[in-house]
Structure 1
Amino acid sequence: MGHKLRQHIEQITPLSDAEFDYILSHFTPRKYKKHQFLLQVDDPVRNDFFVLSGLLKLYHTDAEGKEHILQFAMEDWWICDYQAYFNQTNATLAIDCIEDVEVLCLSLQNRDKLCSELHKIEHFFRRKSNGGYIAMQRRVLSLLNNNAKERYEQLLAQYPMLFQRVPKTLIAAYLGVSRETLSRLS
């Protein structure tokens, strides 16, 4: 279980066995079933989630009941309502399992503790956050500048494995198009 996390962290910074054991002791493993929620709107946001196995979606449901997917997360990805996590407020987004999922949960208190005690982990999370900011900026620019076909092709090129695991209705919700429009694009 911890092995995947260690490989993930060591893509950025090396760890000794003792350092990794200490880091892992701050995480809580959890399993969720397909369609189960990790987080619902108005819940307190207690954890950031590192995905060991399975597939999740982070989304907002508008006043008309339409789902807007902000993020998918699969193995070796992180997922959370970060605004609520870092501000310690209630969730404005939901996280739901598309498949059965195993995650490692990290509370903000444990994250802050690890970052203050281990420069390597602070460096790791800073690099992960920077990558997340860049990805979000690219996504916003793609939504502003690209048509539906270009967004579809960009997603397919970047994450071809998503198309094998995610129903077309969810891909459409991520791209901001109807299911019918997605069928014409694919």
Structure 2
Amino acid sequence: MSEKLRQHIEKITPLTDIEFEYILSHFVPKKLKKHQFLVQEGAPVQYDYFVLSGLLKASYTNPEDGKEYILQFAWEDWWTTDYQAYFNQSNAILSLDCIEETEVLALSLTNREKICAEMHKIEHFFRRKSNSGYIALQRRILSLLTTSAQERYEQLLACYPDLIQRVPKTIIASYLGVSRETLSRFTY
């Protein structure tokens, strides 16, 4: 499974076997069951996670009305955590819940800073990944602001056709900001 991490990193920068083994030594493998929380709102966030297998959703629950807002999904070859809490070493405002059984490699902030300081290649890798994340977040926000729910659904289908098969329709509806009934009208 660790080969997935190497292939992922090498999409941006090549590594020698020694470099990869050193990088890998800074990660902790974790296995989670379906519906288990990887990050739970209110708890400290110690790790950034590289998803080896499985599927997670990142969500925020409004404390006033209890409504859940799904920010993103994360599956194989994705990085995920509550980044605000991770980088500030504070308690989570988001929850990461496993939609499927999931395997991840966990990287503490201390270890991330250490390998970035020691290896320019890895610092470059994480900078590129951060930039991609910012772009995706901007697209998501603009989509929510400027497109209809049906257009958001069509964008989701175009970008991530397999996701629709892996995620229950109630969760897809929540991600799109519509009711389950409204989503049903898009799918027929």
Question: How is 1:65-80 mapped onto 2 (pairs within 5 angstroms)?
Answer: 65-80=66-81
TM-superposed deviation, 1:136: 0.3
Correspondence 1:139 to 2:140: yes
- Give the TM-score normalised by structure 1: 0.99
Q: Look up the match of 2:65.
A: 64
What is the root-mean-square deviation in Å for CA atoms of aligned residues?
0.6
Deviation (angstroms), 1:89? 0.8
1:36 corresponds to: 36
Separation (CA, whole Å) in 2 of partners of 1:133 and 1:48 = 16
- Shift of residue 67 of structure 1? 1.3
Q: TM-score, normalised by structure 2?
A: 0.98
Please say if 1:5 is aligned against 2:1.
no
Q: Distance in 2 between matches of 1:19 and 1:141?
A: 39
Q: How does 1:120-131 map to 2 (within 5 A)?
A: 120-131=121-132
Q: Report deviation, 1:154.
A: 0.4
* Shift, 1:65, TM fit: 1.8
Counterpart CA distance in 1 for 2:61 and 2:90 is: 18
Mapped to 2, the partners of 1:66 and 1:162 lie a distance apart of 23
Gaps of 5+ in 2: none
Deviation string 1:135-159 (CA, Å, 9 cap, x unpaired) is 0000000000000010000011000
The SS at the match of 2:29 is: strand
Q: CA deviation at 1:64?
A: 1.6
1:179 aligns with 2:180: yes
Q: How does 1:74-153 map to 2 (within 5 A)?
A: 74-153=75-154
Match of 1:19 in 2: 19
Identity between Structure 1 and Structure 2 (%): 72
